[in-house]
Structure 1
Amino acid sequence: MATSATSTSRRGGTSALPDDDQTLRELGYPRQLARRVNAFGNFAISATIINFISGVMTALSFAMVSGGPRIMVFGWLGVGLLVLFVGAAMAEITSGFPTSAALYYWSAKLAKRHNAGWSWFTGWLNFIGQIGGTAATDFALANFAVALATLQWPSFHPDAKGILAIYGGILLVHALLNTYTVGLVALLNKISVAWLLAGGLVITFYLIVFPSHHTTTSYAFTHFVNGTGFKSGLYAGMIGLLFTSWTFTGFDASAHMSEETTHAAVSAPKGIVRAIVFSWAAGLVLILALTYSMTQYDKESKANVPAAEIFVDALGHTTAKIFLLVICGAIFFCGLANMTSNSRQIFAFSRDGAIPGGQLWRSVSKRTHTPVKSVWFAATGAFLLGVPSLWNTVAFQAIVSVNVIGLFGSYGVPIFLRLRRGDDFTPGPWSLGRWSRPVATVAVVWIALSSILFLLPQSSPITLKSFNYAPVALAVVLLIATVWWFVTARRTYRGPISYGTPEELAAMEADL
């Protein structure tokens, strides 16, 4: 198998697009997954997971007390730009290594030494981040579904157990769809982009045109709120950046879908960058429409679902219910795509022997040619992450932090290792050229700073109910990974497995 320094040189030196299956064989894997995703479909899954409607609406309750409109608008602009640097750096690496293994594979091939160790911890960070993404999205959908039901039936007020049961039901539906209707899932990922664009435009148009009263431009752009309980406004504003960071997660899905994408060495990196740019622009318009419509800020910020209260105050109950239905649809698509991406990471990581019971999780359904058992692994893990909501009032923010830190941490490691490679790194057909190293440097610095920031307490006073348990969840997973590494894995895990020469793998595919 070719090394990281040379594996992309032959492909990168030609203007013709590389053969997808031959590229995969050169990376050490046989083709097992069906290539049914085109360039638009690859973009669509990342755009669906980023999901500017879902991200903005679900994290609104957090943003309105941690900085308010000022952080929502300018934080979106600043953090969105920094995330674009992260995405571009990842896209370049994706082009060189278009495999579902993605991040942990990149780390193994880019590290100068201790390759297996870098790969191991990158994979586990990505694993917990992916689980957190699935959990946060479907938990948010449960809360929005309750808000919609409460508007329709005012007597409907489920307790924490009821919301957890609804959350479990949503995970079950997403797992069943990923198990039995794989073709439908691919179609829904494409439909979701139109849903996002149309839904965002309609909500924005109504919020701009129909309310009888709007806030002033100064208020919509610069009003600052510190409702965290901490005295420092700077601290409140900094943790409020989680509002934007939570939205811009999951674009590694384009990389995880590489083995199911045609012309993956170009389509996957373009999918990452296009998804970020699309969501950045569309999300800003939606945020401005919301900040101009926050006419009863104190009441709206204290609501269980602030978006629902803003819609009711600005447009009335009927329109609010319609818009909540649109948002629920967007979040549903997001959760479905999250679980798809999550299962592919579990499949790839298990294929390389890094998850207990890997023989089970890496199996592929002969009917659908997808890793069905990994889907149920993802659903179960996400449900367990939501259980603390029974006693913790900031469980959603904690799950979001797990998602952001886990994912961005796994993004940062291979980008950092790529920087260490310097000129020894040869990109694939999609490259940043002379901007490669500056972009990667900015990406690594932002990831390091934001990861520290989002582990900090998010509300005061700090009690059992308000404690940010993200550090605990991350510590437990990393402790398991560390203990397992030193006890046994460092002797058995050698990083991504090469299953044979390209010729041997081609013969193997004929028997699959």
Structure 2
Amino acid sequence: MTDDEARLHELGYAQELERSMSPFSNFAVSFTIICILSGCMTLYGFGMNTGGPAVMVWGWPIVGVLTLTVGLGMAEVCSSYPTAGGLYYWAAKLAKSRGPAWAWFTGWFNFLGQVAVTAGIDFGLAQFLNAFLDLQFGFTATPGHTVLLFGITLLVHALLNVRGVRLVALLNNISVWWQVIGVAVVVLALVVFPSHHQSAGFVFGHFVNNTGWGSSLYVSLLGLLLAQYTLTGFDASAHMTEETHDAARSGPRGIVNSILVSLVAGWVLLIGVTFAIQSYDGALGSSTGVPPVQIFLDALGDTGGKLLLLIVIGAQFFCGM
């Protein structure tokens, strides 16, 4: 009996799932679900209206540090209870009374969150994919076409997931390098090639309120949703512990490291994209309906813009796994 199996026996149940995931694969699951290229780009247009550059750029590290404190707490619990049940199992064990009730509510809220975030990721993918198909093949970016692509994307991801954890782990491993290299390529291209860049004062201090609300504080809080939406899903490392080697260490490290890497890389991405804005109003009024796409096109032209768009689409595809 391995140490992992022995720990599960101590907690009261037998090993049932195959431990085929490495510590890196466990980290990759959470990092892929966070997916900065998906979350940051999908809600970038939302952020442009709710606080603009100032809230997007400064809101990211603020939310990131607060998220890290949550992740550290979850990692501590995960090290003691490295089970596939994750959060709902922890709730049952840690509750002073009515453990089953707390586990029931925790499990269902967690499930609803997983369904919602998968739908959000794949809908963002459908929007960006429709924008590319419109630019490349004239497949007009209409709501109907976006919903059609959304349905196809959900079906493809479902078929891939039922193939088993080995395939998912492989795709998640690829996703890590796709995102890290992708962020580097996107930022480097937006730094080197555009003939014009915004000033540091604009990137770090320009506030925009296109919401109709008069309270700047309230609008700023709305703008934080970009970071809050993106920096989620890191509990996936806990759910995969029963399929991971050295789970009591790999799970907690997967949670914390996925947040740390996303925090740094996501901030670099947001700053790079914001510096490259050529026309703020033009990006918001883009015919594709996706402001980051217009930013890519304005900064790099059709060919360069489409290449960066494909990098984002690839990241979103992996993220929806």
TM over 0.5: yes
Aligned counterpart, 1:328: 313
One-letter code aligned to 1:68:
G
Task: State the structure with more CA Rg.
Answer: 1
1:46 to 22, 30, 33: 30
Deviations 1:81-137 (A, max 9, x none): 000001000000001100110111111110111111111111111011111111101
Quick one: distance in 2 between partners of 1:162 and 1:58? 17
Q: Where do residues 18-167 of structure 1 align in structure 2 (5 Å cutoff)? A: 19-153=3-137, 155-167=138-150
Matched, 1:317 2:298: no
Deviation of the 1:302 alpha carbon: 3.1
Displacement of 1:32: 1.8
- Going from structure 1 to structure 2, the CA distance change for 1:158 and 1:295 (only over 3 Å counts) comes to closer
Could you tell me which runs of 5 or more consecutive residues in structure 1 were left unpaired when the two chains were aligned. Answer: 1-17, 337-512
CA-CA distance at 1:51 after TM superposition: 0.9
Aligned residue runs from structure 1 range 450-465, under 5 A: none
1:181 deviates by 5.5
Residue 180 of structure 1 deviates from its aligned partner by: 2.5
- 1:39-64 CA distance string (max 9 Å, x none): 11111111111111111111101100
State the Cα distance separating 1:179 from its structure 2 match.
1.5
Matches within 5 A, 1:334-345: 334-336=319-321
Give the root-mean-square deviation of aligned CA atoms. 1.2
Distance in 1 of aligned mates of 2:9 and 2:318: 32
- The answer to whether the aligner puts 1:251 opposite 2:251 as a matched pair is no
Conservation of the 8 A alpha-carbon contact between 2:130 and 2:145: no
Question: What is the alpha-carbon distance in structure 1 between the residues aligned to residue 199 and residue 144 of structure 2?
Answer: 41
- Tell me which residue corresponds to 1:366: none
| Separation in 2, partners of 1:263, 1:335 | 26
Percent of counterpart pairs with the same letter? 51
Deviation >4 Å, runs of 4+: none
Unaligned runs of 5+ in 2: none
- CA distance, structure 1, for counterparts of residue 276 and residue 261 of structure 2: 23
Hey, what does 2:173 align to over in structure 1? 190
2:257 matched residue in structure 1: 274
Q: Distance in 1 between matches of 2:256 and 2:165?
A: 25
Task: In structure 2, give the amino acid aligned to 1:36.
Answer: S
Question: How many pairs does the alignment contain?
Answer: 318
Q: For 2:284 and 2:9, how far apart are their aligned partners in 1?
A: 53
Q: 2:201 aligns with which of 210, 218, 225?
A: 218
Give the conservation status (yes or no) of the 8 Å contact 1:221–1:291. Answer: no
Compare the two structures and name the one with the higher helix fraction: 2
Deviation at 1:182, TM superposition (A): 4.0
TM-score by structure 1 length?
0.61
Higher relative contact order (CA 8 A, sep 6+): 2
Q: Scaled by the length of structure 2, what TM-score is found?
A: 0.97
Rounded Cα–Cα distance in structure 1 between residues aligned with 2:108 and 2:166? 29
1:170 is the counterpart of 2:128: no
> Which among 300, 306, 331 is matched to residue 291 of structure 2?
306
Amino acid at match of 1:290: V
